[in-house]
Chain A
Amino acid sequence: MNTTVVALEGVSKRYGAVQALDAVDLAVYEGEMLSLLGPSGCGKTTTLNVIAGFVEPEEGRVLLDGDDVTRQPAWRRGLGVVFQSYALFPHMSVADNVAFGLRERGVPRADVAARVREALTLVRLPEAGPLRPSQLSGGMQQRVALARALVIRPRVLLLDEPLAALDRKLREEMRAELKDIQREVGITTVFVTHDQHEALGLSDRVAVMNAGRIEQLGSPREVYEQPATRFVADFIGASTVLEGRVVDARTVVLAGGQRVEVHLPRVLSAGATVRLVVRPERVAVGGGAGGAANVLRARIASVMFLGDHSELRLDLDGGGRLLATVSGPALFQPGDAATISVPPDAFLEVPTTASL
């Protein structure tokens, strides 16, 4: 059922002293939206450029529907690309921009007009044809770029930080719209972003990249709830990493001396050190989380009010720092002592070896 459309096999690319891609393997399945998520310089855009054919890897192969396209130039690949800067041709009208790929393919004139209209309607800009790109807002330009990429009915749609240049409100609107359009067209999509919300909200699978490698590839829930490495835990969602020593299968003594009950999928051996990750929204401050929750003593280090929620930084008594979020304004001041509760299943384990 999972047909592989794009496959990267051991792809490496070096820019001078920088290893941009380090033996990357990746399979993109039919119809899915896969995002490449990571900080700048992690290799996500290079990965996209390798798939698009803009960058030729030094090692490894790129397969498109099983065919080796590693040495094939971009213009032969038939992929749709949307750029962060939109890259609309400034000397052409919107309609000519959208028609560009069709004309290069020798599509008959009458069909070109019809398909351009259809594509502009798809992105909800049916009237924009005669305008110049510069007469459109950023969000509208982005939609034209999307229409231009989709009109050629590409095998795969490649999106390079398509929303990064938009302001926040527009970005959220476009995010929803992008998802709708992608679902409507049903096209296999690879999406590059440094924004975890975008990646988690839009994709079927997320590849978290760091230093030219894919650290974890999984569904948004998997990478959020079961980060494979400390890097993933840190990068996806603000989170806290606490060091501890295993007492028995369900009990860990934190570095600061406080004892917590944990429910981890792996059986812990006594005496081993573990790294535990706690998501801030799982930490309850003040009032108890009830039942079996661990109760810890802490002091408020800082409070940041962010509108719909507040972010607290807590110093655990004995050592260790935790992040917590509470909805609405927080009723604490820095320096206040607070009791916090963390349910046993809120502790996730990350490997102690893979730390970056």
Chain B
Amino acid sequence: MIARAVVVLLLAFMTLPTVVVVVASVNPTEMLAFPPSGFSLRWYEHALTYPQFRRAAVNSVIVTAASAALALPIGTAAALALVRHPLRLRGFWTAVLLSPLVVPGVAAGLGLLILAARLGLLANHAVLIAAHVILVLPFVIRSVMVSVANLDPMLERAAASLGARPWRVFRMVTLPLLRPGLFAALLFAIIVSVNEFVVSLFVSTRVTEILPVAMFTYVVNYTDPTMAAVSTLFIGATFVVVFAADRLLHLSRVFQIDTHR
């Protein structure tokens, strides 16, 4: 009984901010208020037509897609090397590749900002994408490493003995069997990249900024419920992506149980 009550309280505590934002987004007046004084979707209309949000949403898609597309192959190669090859200083390399997890975003952002300014790349998506690749890599590497560790090297030897060249072994055996790890890595990459704020704030301009940065800029200047509407849309979109990915992941898990006897 008590346990159940604790769980309910915990769930309420964890979902409270979301609920407040969603409810506040339908307030008809020009103030962020809770509870709302009525029901209106005008702020949704405003959010969806506000040019800076539209531009930022497109930027988010570009940056997230590009960083995931880069981080996945790089992270997979790194995971294979870290698990499979008897590297000297393996611990050191692992630490370096996972370090973005512990370096404060402000520090990383500042470093990238200085570097980008020096190279004259500030008005470019490239810096933002590079930053996201760095931030996403630890998650990708971690996920793929688990799958690599579970992959029986004898399968690759078997394929080689049957006449498969190294890249064919990779294509026909290694890659398909890493699929669960790659799905998880992709999911992490999308979530981390889409929500990344601190580092992005440092290295983006008005033209390249992604949605979280645009939202921050808006809330600094305005106090109407548009922010709450954008947040709700953002939460909804993330939910859809995560749910879809989890369905895929779930399928692949079933597939994996099937494969491991």
| Chain B residues near A158 (CB-CB < 8 A) | 161
The reply to whether B162 and A104 contact each other, CB–CB distance below 8 Å, is yes
Contact size class for B? 20 to 34
Shortest beta-carbon distance from B171 to chain A in Å: 11
Question: Looking at the complex, which of A56-64, A86-94, A168-176 is the stretch in contact with chain B?
Answer: A86-94
A residues near B159, Cβ cutoff 8 Å:
89, 100, 104
Known: A54-B157, A74-B157, A83-B154. A91 touches B162 (CB 8 A): no
Residues of chain B within 8 A (CB-CB) of A79 are 161
For the complex formed, measure the closest distance between the CB of B175 and the CB atoms of chain A, giving whole angstroms. Answer: 10
Report chain A residues within 8 Å CB of B164: 75, 100, 104
Per a CB cutoff under 8 Å, which of A74, A77, A89, A152 touches B155? A89
**Pair A90/B162 contact, Cβ less than 8 Å:** no
* Dominant secondary structure at the B interface: helix
Query: Hey, which chain B residues are within 8 Å of A73, CB to CB?
Result: 160, 166
**Given A74-B157, A83-B158, A85-B154, A90 and B163 contact (CB-CB distance below 8 Å):** no
List, in ascending order, chain A residues with CB within 8 A of B161's CB: 52-54, 74-75, 77, 79-81, 149, 158
A90–B177 contact, CB under 8 A?
yes
Q: Are B157 and A90 in contact (CB under 8 A)?
A: no
Contacting residues, chain B, for A78 (C-beta < 8 A) = 163
A86 CB to nearest B CB, Å? 9
Residue A134 lies at the interface, judged by CB distance under 8 Å to chain B: yes
B49 interfacial contact with A, CB 8 Å: no
Whether B152 lies near A148 (C-beta < 8 A) is no
Residue pair A152, B152 in contact (C-beta under 8 Å)? no
State A101–B168 Cα separation when bound (angstroms).
11
Chain A residues with CB under 8 Å of B169's CB are 75
Q: Which residues of A contact B88 (CB under 8 A)?
A: none
Q: Are B259 and A75 in contact (CB-based, < 8 A)?
A: no
The digit string for A150-179, where 1 denotes a CB below 8 A from any CB of B, is 001000001000000000000000000000
The answer for the CA separation of A88 and B152 in the assembled complex, in Å, is 10
Q: Would you call A132 an interface residue if the criterion is a C-beta within 8 Å of the partner chain's C-beta atoms?
A: yes
> How many positions in chain A have a CB within 8 Å of any CB in the partner chain?
28
B237 to chain A minimum Cβ distance, whole angstroms, is: 32
| Chain A positions within 8 Å of B33 at CB level | none
CA distance in complex: A132, B255 (Å) = 11
Residues of chain A with a CB closer than 8 A to B157's CB = 52, 54, 74, 81, 83, 87
Q: Which residues of chain A (30-75) have a CB below 8 Å from chain B? A: 52-54, 73-75
> For chain B residues 118-177, which have a beta carbon within 8 Å of chain A?
152, 154-155, 157-166, 168-169, 172-173, 176-177
Whole-angstrom CA separation of A89 from B128 in the bound complex? 40
Do residues B258 and A134 form an inter-chain contact, with CB atoms below 8 A? yes
Assembled-state Cα–Cα distance A83/B155 (Å): 9
Rounded to whole angstroms, the CA-CA distance of A149 and B259 in the bound complex is: 20
Which single member of B152, B166, B255 contacts A85 (CB below 8 Å)? B152
B4 at the A/B interface (Cβ < 8 Å)? no
Is B154's CB under 8 angstroms from A101's CB? Answer: no
Per the bound structure, the CA–CA distance linking A101 and B165 in Å amounts to: 11
B260 at the interface (CB under 8 A from A): yes
Given A83-B157, A89-B155, A100-B159, A75 and B165 touching (CB < 8 A)?
yes
Q: Which 8 A-B pairs have the closest CB atoms?
A: A90-B259, A101-B162, A87-B158, A87-B154, A81-B161, A104-B163, A74-B160, A75-B160
Residues of A within 8 A of B (CB): 52-54, 73-75, 77-81, 83, 85, 87-91, 100-101, 104-105, 132, 134, 148-149, 152, 158
Known: A90-B155, A132-B258. 8 other contacts (CB 8 A): A54-B160, A75-B165, A85-B154, A87-B152, A88-B158, A89-B172, A90-B260, A158-B161
